Chain A
Amino acid sequence: TQLLEQSPQFLSIQEGENLTVYCNSSSVFSSLQWYRQEPGEGPVLLVTVVTGGEVKKLKRLTFQFGDARKDSSLHITAAQPGDTGLYLCARGTSYGKLTFGQGTILTVHP
C-alpha cells in the first residue's frame, strides 16, 4: 500500500505566524498534488509538483518537492484567517485513483 503520511494533523496558530505541513511516503511519487478544502466546499487544487527538488510559489504559499521525490512540504508565510481549512496532499496511482494523506486541519485565529 502506497500510503501518504501527512503531518501535523491539527494546527492552530495566530494570524501572522508561519507554518509548514509535511507529506511523506516510503515510495517515489511521479507527481504530487496539494489541495485546500474550506468547510462545506470541495477540495480546490493548489499545485502539482512533478520534478525532484522543485519549488513552486503561490502568493504566500511555497511548495517543495523533495530531491528523491518521496516527500513534499507546504509552507505558509504570515498566515491569515482566510487560510483556514483542510489541507490535503495526494498522489495519483494507477487507474485514476488518488491516494490522499490524512489531512491537516489549519485554524488561523485573528
Chain B
Amino acid sequence: DTEVTQTPKHLVMGMTNKKSLKCEQHMGHRAMYWYKQKAKKPPELMFVYSYEKLSINESVPSRFSPECPNSSLLNLHLHALQPEDSALYLCASSQVVAGVSYEQYFGPGTRLTVT
C-alpha cells in the first residue's frame, strides 16, 4: 500500500474561521511533510516531521500550526488565514534511512480557498 490519504479534498473558509487538514499513511514511514503548491508551480515545503517531532519549519506564518499525533497521522491547523493562502496543500511521507529521506509519496491534496 503506497497510499497517502488527505481530507478534505476541498475546503472553503473565511478569514476568521478555524479549520484543520488531515493526512494519513500506513506505509510505516517515519517522515511526514506539508507542502503548499500554487498553480503550475512546484510544491513549496512548509514543515517536516521526523519520528513525530518537528524537524523543519520553513519560516511558515503562525496561522499555520502542524501537529503529528502519531506515526501515521499529520494535521495542519489553520486560523485567521489570508486570501493569498489559497492553494493546494499536499501531504507526503517517506522512509528515513540513516537520518536521510529521499523518495516521497504524496497525497492527492486539499484545495483550499480563503474568502
From the candidates B42, B92, B102, B107, name the one contacting A92 in the complex (CB within 8 A).
B102
- A110 is an interface residue with CB less than 8 A from chain B: no
Of A35-43, A56-64, A68-76, the stretch lying at the interface with chain B is A35-43
A82 CA / B68 CA spacing, docked (Å): 36
Give the distance to chain A from B89, nearest Cβ to Cβ, in Å.
10
B: contact size bracket = 20 to 34
Contact bitstring A67-97, B, C-beta under 8 A = 1, else 0:
0000000000000000000101010101111
Give the distance to chain A from B73, nearest Cβ to Cβ, in Å.
17
Overall SS of chain B's interface: strand
Q: B: which residues have CB within 8 A of A?
A: 4, 6, 31, 33, 40-43, 45, 48, 50, 55-56, 88, 90, 92, 94, 96, 100-109, 111
